[in-house]
Amino acid sequence: MDRRCFAFVLASFVLVAPGCGRKKTAPPTLPSALLGQPIPSFRRPTLAGATFDTQAAKGKLVVVKFFAEYCAPCKVTLPEAESLSRKHDDVEFVGISEDEYESKTRQMIGQYGLTFPVVHDGGQVLAGRFRVAELPMTFVIDAGGTVRWVGGPGQQKGDLEAAIRTVRGGS
């Protein structure tokens, strides 16, 4: 290896190595009146026939994911949410569909293979309670029921996982 090649490899190592092993912190949260507040309570039937109840989820970390078929960024964030729901069985995931028609929601569940519970919010009642102004919108709630992180349309791959890890306490 000549000196220039060695210098390049050494410089690359010096630039990359400090980031290795460092825990990724949660990306910045979107501003929300709900941050630091209790999760808006709701009990709704899921499209699978069960009932999702925020009171029953207390004691667990909860991810509430608002989405719709017409939302292009949702098509990027939904597969990651599904993957994380399978990876983190100790985290309670719930999808809230803002589609006008339930059939569109069912189509998305099939298209993305969603296994977490999904509630159809055709009248946007839950969107109002959570003050959802744009989609997708993702809320991470700690085990005590407090909203700790909010992700929006600019959410990047890995942001939700980093938020879960940070809210969980780095574990």
Please write the tens of the pLDDT for every residue from 122-150. 899 999 999 999 999 999 999 999 999 99
Instruction: Decide if 78 is inside a domain.
Output: yes
Instruction: Decide if 15 is inside a domain.
Output: no
Instruction: Decide if 10 is inside a domain.
Output: no
Spans in the chain with pLDDT lower than 70? 1-24, 170-171
- Which uninterrupted H or E stretch holds 62? strand 61-67
Instruction: Decide if 126 is inside a domain.
Output: yes
φ, ψ dihedrals at 102, nearest 5°:
-60, -35
Other beta carbons within 10 angstroms of residue 20's beta carbon come to 7
CA quadruple 101, 123, 75, 105: dihedral sign? negative
Instruction: Decide if 130 is inside a domain.
Output: yes
Here the CATH number for the domain that contains residue 58 is: 3.40.30.10
- The total number of structural domains in the chain stands at 1
pLDDT for 26: 72
CA nearest 140: which of 111, 166, 110, 164? 164
pLDDT for 170: 58
pTM of the predicted model, to two decimals? Answer: 0.84
Instruction: Decide if 110 is inside a domain.
Output: yes
Q: Give pairs for 17-26: CB < 8 Å, separation 24+.
A: 23/165, 23/170, 24/158, 24/162, 24/165, 25/162, 25/166, 26/149, 26/159, 26/162, 26/163, 26/165, 26/166, 26/167
Instruction: Decide if 18 is inside a domain.
Output: no
Q: Which domain holds residue 51?
A: 24-168
pLDDT for 25: 73
pLDDT for 22: 44
Instruction: Decide if 152 is inside a domain.
Output: yes
